[in-house]
Amino acid sequence: MTKQEVESSLPFKAARKILKSRFPWITKIEAPEDAERYSSLIFIEVYIDPYKFLESYPEYSLDTFFIKHVKRDDSFKTWGSTNMGVFVQKQGEDNKEKFEMFRPISDEVTKILNSIGRSQAFPEELRLNGNRTFDLNNFYIDSRTI
């Protein structure tokens, strides 16, 4: 399946709607350009608004190292990670604690994507080709939003 075929599929549209309603800080969900690369998985790219995300976690701020890194490279880039803890910091918290704090978000997004991709609710002709399912590639932040 091509990127366009994946994004026009009913399971992808359902995943986009569910994720955006469950997580209001998700701004865009895309299939990768190489959607046909793997035979069983389609890794979904999830774009976020970091400031809207931080509204739910007022004790956190954008990580200063991350901001410096983005601002040092003035070319347009999209920064990604499977764990939201890469983008944020909290005074006195180490990286292990931070990653553990935000791991449930990655786990929940992955669980939603997997369940939709495998759902028997979609008729056979509307499912993804073969035994394919969705998985989380990365959460992405557009450097232009920082």
pLDDT for residue 126 = 80
Report how far residue 99's alpha carbon sits from residue 94's, in angstroms, rounded to the nearest whole number: 9
Q: What is the mean pLDDT of residues 18-34?
A: 94
pLDDT of 107 > 80? The answer is yes
CB 102: neighbour CB atoms within 10 A? 22
Residue 75's pLDDT band, with cuts at 50, 70 and 90, is low
- The count of structural domains within the chain is 1
pLDDT for residue 77 = 59
Report how far residue 70's alpha carbon sits from residue 20's, in angstroms, rounded to the nearest whole number: 26
Tell me, what DSSP letter sits at residue 60?
Answer: -
Describe the strand order of the beta sheet including 41-48 as a list of residue ranges: 26-30, 41-48, 133-142, 78-81
Q: What is the mean pLDDT of residues 82-102?
A: 90
pLDDT of 66 > 90? The answer is no
pLDDT for residue 36 = 86
Q: What is the mean pLDDT of residues 6-31?
A: 95
Domain extent, residue 86, equals 3-145
Residue 106's pLDDT band, with cuts at 50, 70 and 90, is very high
